[in-house]
């Protein structure tokens, strides 16, 4: 929702998210505690949260961009996970959180400490993990270095984010497999963006590399408005569900709730 220009009514967000909470996903990224000036679409996150029906199966994850946002998110019992975007690109870190990489690293440490105190799961998204369109230094070794730094800090979850859809299946395989093997105490996930033409090979590459945490978005809607680039949407959740079902590895989901969620997504984003 974050990049959607037309404001989605709070009641409609609540209806949509409550439908998603019934599907049976592991985690739902439901909102963000960020500046309403930066992302007006998510200015009603607190109001949305108050209207959500708790799920025994699905964790609620909130994205934050600074320490203040983390403090706000951790104050809510319903929120079980907090996510922070840490970029291997200096340019994108400044665009996304108005901070340098070194300042963002300090923020990661501060948020991690709050999450430990409040009993929240902390997820660090490594933005631009598969390439950098801004001309900053990039290599897989830089990604490895930052992932290892996060793991040394005991960050429990690292999600490799293909922020603008640059990843190839070969990159996904190489980077994911290395980190899964090298960081056995850290959960390694992927947050991939892709077109209809190459999503499956990326998902297959990550799965065969040992990844078991996958982010998606119904109808493939998504993208970071701070990227200021031609965005490639998040991988379509329905496609991933079908693929994982074909592999026989997906836990049963509430099909009726999934169909309702898909219908609401089409009503909100495609009409």
pLDDT (0 to 100) of residue 232:
64
pLDDT (0 to 100) of residue 263:
96
- Look at the block and give the residue holding tokens 């090298």: 182
Angle at 48 between CA 44 and CA 53, to 5 degrees: 175
Please state the domain count of the chain: 1
Q: Order of strands across the sheet with 121-127?
A: 27-33, 59-64, 79-87, 121-127, 157-161, 187-191, 213-214
Q: Is the pTM of this model over 0.75?
A: yes
Contact 206, 188 (CB under 8 A): no
Question: What's the rounded Cα separation, in Å, for the pair 131 and 37?
Answer: 28
Number of H helices, E strands in the chain: 10, 7
Question: What's the rounded Cα separation, in Å, for the pair 255 and 246?
Answer: 16
CATH of the domain at 96: 3.20.20.70
In a domain, 89, yes or no: yes
pLDDT (0 to 100) of residue 231:
58
In a domain, 30, yes or no: yes
In a domain, 2, yes or no: no
In a domain, 223, yes or no: yes
Q: Which two tokens stand for residue 88?
A: 């291997």
Contact 86, 126 (CB under 8 A): yes
Give the structural domain span for 231. 10-270
Q: Which residues contact 68 (CB under 8 A, 6 or more apart)?
A: 33
In a domain, 253, yes or no: yes
In a domain, 4, yes or no: no
In a domain, 5, yes or no: no
The 10s digit of each residue's pLDDT in 177-197 is: 999 999 999 999 999 988 888
The series of mean pLDDT values per 10 residues for the chain, 271 residues long, is: 90 98 97 91 97 96 96 97 96 92 98 98 96 91 98 98 90 98 98 89 98 94 56 85 96 96 93 72
In a domain, 139, yes or no: yes
């Amino acid at each position: 929702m974050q990049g959607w220009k037309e404001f989605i009514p709070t009641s409609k967000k609540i209806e949509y998210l409550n439908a998603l909470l019934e599907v049976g996903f592991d985690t739902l990224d439901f909102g963000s505690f960020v500046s309403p000036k930066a992302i007006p679409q998510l200015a009603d996150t607190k109001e949305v949260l108050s209207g959500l029906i708790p799920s025994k199966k699905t964790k609620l994850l909130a994205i934050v961009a600074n320490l203040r946002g983390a403090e706000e998110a951790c104050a809510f019992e319903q929120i079980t996970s907090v996510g922070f975007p840490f970029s291997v690109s200096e340019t994108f870190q400044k665009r996304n959180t108005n901070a340098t990489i070194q300042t963002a690293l300090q923020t990661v440490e501060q948020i991690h400490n709050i999450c430990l105190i409040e009993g929240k799961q902390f997820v660090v998204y490594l933005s631009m993990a598969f390439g950098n369109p801004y001309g900053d230094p990039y290599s897989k070794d830089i990604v490895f270095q930052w992932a290892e730094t996060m793991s040394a800090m005991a960050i429990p979850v690292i999600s490799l984010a293909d922020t603008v859809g640059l990843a190839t299946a070969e990159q996904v395989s190489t980077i994911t497999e290395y980190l899964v093997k090298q960081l056995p105490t850290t959960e390694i996930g992927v947050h991939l963006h892709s077109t209809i033409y190459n999503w499956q090979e990326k998902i297959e590459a990550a799965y065969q590399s040992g990844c078991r945490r996958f982010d998606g978005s119904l109808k493939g809607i998504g993208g970071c408005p701070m990227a200021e680039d031609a965005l490639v949407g998040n991988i379509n959740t329905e496609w991933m569900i079908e693929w994982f079902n074909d592999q026989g590895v997906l836990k049963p989901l509430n099909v009726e709730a999934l169909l309702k969620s898909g219908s609401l997504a089409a009503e909100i984003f495609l009409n």
